[in-house]
Each structure stands twice: as structure tokens, then as C-alpha cells.
Amino acid sequence: MKLKKWAGVAAALALVAGLVGCAPSADNSPRELLIWDTGILGKDATDDPYADNAFLNQMGVEFEEANPGVTVTIVQQGGDISTNAAQFQAAAIAGTGPDIRVQYAGGPTTSFAEFFEDLGPLLPKDLLDSLAGQYVNREGFKSDGRLLGMTYGAGNLFVVFQNADVLKEAGIDPSVTPATWEALMANAQQVADKTDKTGFYTGGLEGYPGAWFISNMVGGELGQTAFTDMYSGKVAVDDPAMLKAYQAFADWGASSVNNPDAAQVTASGKGFLAGEAGYYLVGSWENNGMVEAFGEDGPVTSFFIPTLEGAKYTKIGSGGPEIALSISNKSKNKELAAEFLKFVARTEHQDRFVEIYQTQGSNDPKGDPAMIKNPRLKEQFQQLAKSTDGVTFAFDSVMPQATIDLFYRVNAGVFSGKITPAEAVAQLKASYEEEMSK
């Protein structure tokens, strides 16, 4: 199996510059499979992906072994979400892209509908029916829309990590989970007032905390289909729930509960991992880092982000399906690509994915729950069982890619006080309308 590192923006520019001269070769071997991953199902690895726990690379090695004569090449794109999207679009237009692309589910998949093959005719119906959340990759989020990607994994969840030692120092009982966001903010303020720690450690530079916050708060107001309903036009992008959520987000950014440089630093748990904050709002992808830093029985636990006071749907989580595997409609190896997707979807392979990453469960109903070792993931799945209002599929997992890119920017602006909540919502509405009119 071959592993390559994407050269970054320069490679994307080279692709655009060479659109005419880079047409696919007529003698392209049907036994070669090119996969582009955006860093969410695999990673850069050495010659031994088993030593590196590089799941996608392991699948490539084993698929080659099961299919003599097949060569699997995996390219890790690197860079951020917007750069990856631009690289893929340029390559797809040029006809030089991959056979399979791995990207975020929902909007980041459906935005490339013109470049992806319908998986319905390529994959067995019983397989697709067994994998929950497939609707998020259907064109237009319609039940009969073309299936543009196969969901993988049970999905990530947006959570708040708390440090019991810091909370106790502030006189807060960590066994009592705040019932509302306002109660959580009051706790955070108490930490800031009574200790030398901050209430939250936050990195708002790229706007990612805003994505998790807004998705959760709007879900609390409108329910788990809030953003798929926005996409379809059933709910307006400037619904009052959006303005309410953005006002609460602006208030969080303007408060004294965060690290002083919160608006200038990148999203990370640096200060929280150093024991300098009571809370850290992020996602279940941080589970392993928490256990490594504090131990399995240490002071750090997690809970779902609480909703705003007066929310209709208080027993709700947010996040949902994260990973999608898609087949390019320019691929000369569609059947081979479909075989790879079926191979990766085997129960034992989904179990291995869970065992390696410990950030989300299996999407296979026959998956082995014993593969969940991380205590944070275990507690999150216990909370998920109590979330009778469901899980809100996030704004940036639904909307067109250009609107998603804007979403992160306006989030950063609102948190820093440079953009008002009303301006943020108006910009998002205008972007959505422009993209949907194309």
C-alpha cells in the first residue's frame, strides 16, 4: 500500500493551473484505488500502520491482501476544511481526483453532489439499512435523494469536560450537572471569582466552539431536525432561535469566565489540560486526550452541553454522524471502490475503528460494545441513552460548504465582539440563499 502526504495549497494551485493538461489517462489500471482522506479516518503513518494505529491505512493493507493485484494509495490532504474542499473541487473538475474521498458527513458531502456517485446501486440495501444516519448524506436531505456518501461510525457528540478538583476549589459540587447553560455560566463565573483559574478554557480564533455551541442551543429551541429543516426551507435561517443562540454566544465571549486570550488562540484544550480551567466545551474526539492527561479515574468527566433557559427540548444532545466515504463519479474503478466500502463496513472492521479511536461507537447494530474502553466515551453513551429528545445534527454538517466556511468566520467575529448576533444571522441567511439559488 502506498501512503502520500498532500503538498497543500501549492498542489491545489497546480491542479487548477493544469486543468487542460491533466486529463485522466486512458490506460488507467482498474486494479488501482486512490483514496483521499481529510484526516478524519486515517492519518500519516510510517511503514507500519499497525504500530501507528492508522485505521484507514490498515484497511488499505488488508484490502490489498484480500484482493491480489490491487494497489491502494492513500493521500492525506492535510490543511483545514476549506482548503481541502478547494483542492478536491479543483481535482474533480479536472478529472484528476480520487476514486474515494473521505470527508465530513452532511453538508461537506452533499455540497459536492455533482462530483459523487449515487451509492444506492453500488452497495447492498441491507448494508445501507444497517448503518444509521444515512439520510444526512442524501442529496437535499430527502429520503429519496441520491446517496452521496456512506456514514461511518456512530458519530461524535458535543460535550463539556469538567475538572472536579477545580470545581471543588471554587465550592461547586461536581456531581451536580448544570441543568441549563445559564447555570453552567454561573458555575464558571464562580470558578473565576473564587480561584486563580478560569471558568472555561476556550480557543475561539477559528470559530469552532461557536459551531458546537450554536448547534446545541438551536437544537434545544427547535429540536434535532433544526438544521435539516433550515436546509429544506421549512425553518428560516434567521429564525428567532438563531438570534437567541448567537446572543448567548456573544455574552459568553464578552464575559470574564474565559481565558483572557480566548478570542485570539486556536481551538485546543491547552489550558484545561494544564488544570487551569473548570470547564472545556468541545467534542468527544477529545476523550483520549482527557484520559491521557488525567487518567481513567482522574478528576475530569464530561456531560452534554446544557440548553438555554426555557428551551423546549432540554433532553437533547448535539453532534451526530461525522464521517462519510464517497465514490467519485469520475472514477474508472467504481466497482472496486464499492468493494472497498463494503470491506471497511464489515462488523469486525467497525469494531476495530472503535477500538483504535475511542471517540465514537460503532454504526453497526452488531458492533461489540466491549470495544468501548475509554471511560469518557462510556459515560457519553450512557447520557445518549437518556437524551430522549434526540441529537441535533450540526449546522456545519448540513449547510452548503460556502455557508459553513462563513459560519466559522462569523462565529469568531461574534465571540470577539467584532460582529453583532444580528449581523451574523443576516450574513448566514444571505449566504444560504445565494448557495441554494445556484
Q: Could you give the percent of the chain with pLDDT greater than 90?
A: 75
pLDDT in tens, 261-316: 999 999 999 999 999 999 999 999 999 999 999 999 999 999 999 999 999 999 99
- Cβ atoms of residues 118 and 328 within 8 Å: no
Q: How would you write the pLDDT of the chain (438 residues) with one tens digit per residue?
A: 665 544 333 333 333 333 333 333 334 455 899 999 988 888 777 778 998 899 999 999 999 999 999 999 999 987 677 788 889 999 999 999 999 999 999 988 998 999 999 999 999 999 999 988 888 899 988 889 999 999 999 889 999 999 999 999 999 999 999 999 999 999 999 999 999 999 999 999 999 999 999 999 999 999 999 999 999 999 999 999 999 999 999 999 999 999 999 999 999 999 999 999 999 999 999 999 999 999 999 999 999 999 999 999 999 999 988 899 999 999 999 999 999 999 999 999 999 999 999 988 898 889 998 999 999 999 998 998 899 999 999 999 889 889 999 999 999 999 999 999 999 999 999 999 999 998
User: Interhelix angle for 208-222 vs 401-416, to 10°?
Assistant: 100
pLDDT at 142: 86
pLDDT at 4: 54
pLDDT in tens, 179-209: 999 999 999 999 999 999 999 999 999 999 9
Strands (DSSP E) contained in 248-337 are 277-283, 300-304, 317-320, 323-327
pLDDT at 401: 83
Look over the chain and give the mean of its residue pLDDT values, rounded to a whole number. 90
- Cβ atoms of residues 72 and 35 within 8 Å: yes
Interstrand relation of 198-200 and 2-5 (parallel, antiparallel or unpaired): unpaired
pLDDT at 392: 94
Q: Domain locations in the chain?
A: 2-154+321-367, 156-319+389-436
C-alpha–C-alpha distance, residues 107 and 223, integer Å: 19
Q: Does domain 156-319+389-436 have CATH number 3.10.129.10?
A: no
C-alpha–C-alpha distance, residues 404 and 150, integer Å: 21
Interstrand relation of 71-76 and 32-37 (parallel, antiparallel or unpaired): parallel
Could you please state the CATH topology (level 3) that the domain comprising 2-154+321-367 is classified under.
D-Maltodextrin-Binding Protein; domain 2 (3.40.190)
C-alpha–C-alpha distance, residues 114 and 329, integer Å: 8
CB atoms within 10 A of CB 417: 11
CB atoms within 10 A of CB 66: 10
C-alpha–C-alpha distance, residues 197 and 219, integer Å: 30
Half-sphere exposure of 337 (CA within 13 A, CB side): 29
- Cβ atoms of residues 370 and 129 within 8 Å: no
